Amino acid sequence: MLQINNSSELQYFLDVLDLIGQSTDDYLYFYDLDRDYYAISERATRAFALKDSRFYNASSVLGNLFYPDDAEYVLKDIEQIHKGIRKEHNIEYRWLDKYGNPVWICCRGSVIQKEDHPAYLVGVITELGKQNRIDKITGLYNSGVLRDRITFMSEVGESLAGLMIIGIDNFKGINDWHGSSAGDEILYKTARFIECAINDAVGNAGQVFRLDGDMFAIFTMAPEITGNSDGFKKIYKDIRSRVDAYMEESSYRCFYTISAGSAIFNIASTTADNAIMRGKFALHCAKLAGKNNYVAYNEEVHNEYIKKLDIQEELRRSINNGFEGFEIYYQPIVNPATNTLYGAEALLRWNSSKYGFISPALTIPILESSGLIIPLGKWITLTAARQCAKWRETYPDFRMNINLSFVQLLKSDVLRDMVDKIDEVGVPHDNIVFEVTESGQLESNKYTRSVLGGFSDSNFKLAIDDFGTGYSNLRYVKDMMFGLIKIDRLFIQNIDENEYNYMLVKHVTDLAHSLNLKVCMEGVETSKELKTVMSLKPDCIQGYYYDKPLCRNDFECRYMHYNSLVKTVITDDL
């Protein structure tokens, strides 16, 4: 370890620094911590707001040289050097040039010990430029500076910190409709609103940063925020009120809203990337909740989200591994007029090698959102069609109901895919019923309706599934593409006791029959429900009263040998 023991050695050291400084573009410096004395390359006086290259009372002189927003950050690092906590100095911040403009520098240095205490700091300053790490549109620090701030503060010790990520909702639409200049103005204005809100809340104890795209970040360690569950929420409301006032003043020339997500964390045990990830996840949740909203980070919700991502990868692996773990179950559909088997609905089941059996209520949305339903849908159709072909040997009129996802309709050549698989097996098209869940997307998307028209033209049967639970529209009832509506269990449950449900189902059934549509009652579970439903004369019935969804072998054992089984079950219970 280098040591300087007397004034002559010190002078020699400074002369060496001057000599080396003449052969480099960087600025070499020497800081005597005991005497508060500072020496820097002579050229620095021509670039920065320094009167001399060597001076006493360095802490005060340098304090005036720091850009105000960076002062606390730098002084904390120097304080740790004085205390012997840090042995090196390596941070980026801003000095003021001769004209008062901030210039980014990288200051690196090492501590020289004297009599077992830090006595000198010696190093080099590299000028990075006036625009380095500053967002040009808003004038805010960028994400790199935010990461440095969090990393630096994590070395201070155990303490709570807070991060809030703010995003402008539908920002791409603003740029597309009003132009990029309008988008830039909104970014600039929003930055000022955020700065005002955090300044009113905690003064200089909070900093604002510009992240990628339409996102901003607030970082603070102020206890009035980190120790208050509503601290960030109040700041968000303040920002939103400023946005609202701005739009009103501009006569709503360009309407926009903001969403935000926050995270409170132990800075000593949380990396910068992890802290930003938490804030962004909370923002993601706020946007999912309808936008123009605020959400605080919830670890349980995040863990559930991560699990869903892992399940998605497990689903992908299973599909790529020959549809490993997937199986089709079949729930019988009964003709109540003859008490005979009408057909069955093919229902997907998945037994994961990692998680075991997972409910379709969880897997289906993941399959749809990831697009994995497209390759899996082909396998489902082929498997169900093969089973239909086999069971038609016992029941020539047997119909197989197969569910179609809106994702399949919109993002794949689903008609060609289904025709190829079904024709490969050789099942007549009119023995296949494709079920589509009603939705606003189905109603409003002309392309999907044209695809469904192709199914109808190809002699496939089409059914509206879960009728009454989604975007209910009488257009479905009169639309000649659909030959069957399936009334959801929501209306069948306790229909024997609920007169309103009874009358509603009766009128829908009568209307459908008057338009030559068939009606299937779903979710019939009790003999009383069955008796009431039978009085409405549906064309078919499905539900746990008859049977739960069964694996292929159980379905065959129960229904493919004695057709009287269905009749017996119904007759005995009624």
Q: What is the pLDDT of residue 574?
A: 40
Strand partners, 351: 357
According to CATH, the topology of domain 323-569 is TIM Barrel (3.20.20)
Angle between helices 272-288 and 143-154 (to 10 degrees): 120
- φ, ψ at 130 (rounded to 5°): -75, -25
Q: Where in the chain is the domain with CATH 3.30.450.20?
A: 7-129
Find the DSSP H helices in 22-57: 44-47
**Contacts for 114 with CB less than 8 Å, ≥ 6 apart:** 3, 4, 5, 34, 120
What is residue 197's DSSP assignment? H
Distance CA 62, CA 78 (A): 11
CA distances from 256 to 170, 251, 476 (A): 8, 12, 36
Per-residue confidence (pLDDT) for residue 468, from 0 to 100: 64
What's the predicted TM-score (pTM) here? 0.72
Residues 435/409, Cβ–Cβ less than 8 Å: no
Residue spans in the chain of domains classed CATH 3.20.20.450? 323-569
User: What six digits make up the tokens of 153?
Assistant: 């503060």
**What is the enclosing helix (H) or strand (E) of 404?**
strand 399-404
Write down the pLDDT at residue 571. 42
Look up residue 157 and give its two tokens. Answer: 């010790």
From first to last of its 574 residues, the chain has per-residue pLDDT tens of 445 555 656 666 666 666 665 657 789 999 999 899 999 988 888 888 898 889 999 989 998 999 888 888 888 888 888 888 888 888 888 899 887 888 889 899 999 888 788 888 999 998 886 556 778 889 888 998 899 889 888 877 778 999 999 999 989 888 888 888 888 999 999 999 999 999 999 988 899 999 999 999 999 999 999 998 899 999 999 999 999 999 888 887 788 999 999 999 999 999 999 999 999 999 999 999 999 999 999 999 999 999 999 999 999 999 999 999 999 999 999 999 888 899 999 999 999 999 999 999 999 999 999 999 999 999 999 999 999 999 999 999 999 999 999 899 988 899 999 999 999 999 999 999 999 986 555 655 678 888 988 999 999 999 988 776 655 555 655 556 789 999 988 889 889 888 998 999 999 899 889 888 999 999 999 999 999 999 999 999 999 999 999 999 999 999 887 544 454 444 444 4
Residues of the chain with CATH 3.30.70.270: 143-297
Residues forming a β-bridge with 110: 88, 122
Q: Which CATH fold would you assign to the domain 143-297?
A: Alpha-Beta Plaits (3.30.70)
Q: CA geometry: angle at 413 spanning 410 and 419, to 5°? A: 125
- Reference 13, options 112, 154, 81, 127; nearest CA is 112
Report the distance separating Cα 547 and Cα 524, nearest Å. 10
Give the pLDDT of residue 570.
45
Question: In 3D, which of 159, 125, 113, 128 has the Cα closest to residue 44?
Answer: 125
Element spanning 39, H or E: strand 37-40
CATH numeric code, 7-129: 3.30.450.20
What pLDDT is recorded for position 526? Answer: 92
What's the token pair of residue 436? 């589509």
Give Cβ neighbours of residue 276 (< 8 Å, ≥ 6 apart): 143, 146, 147, 150, 163, 165, 211, 217
SS3 203: helix
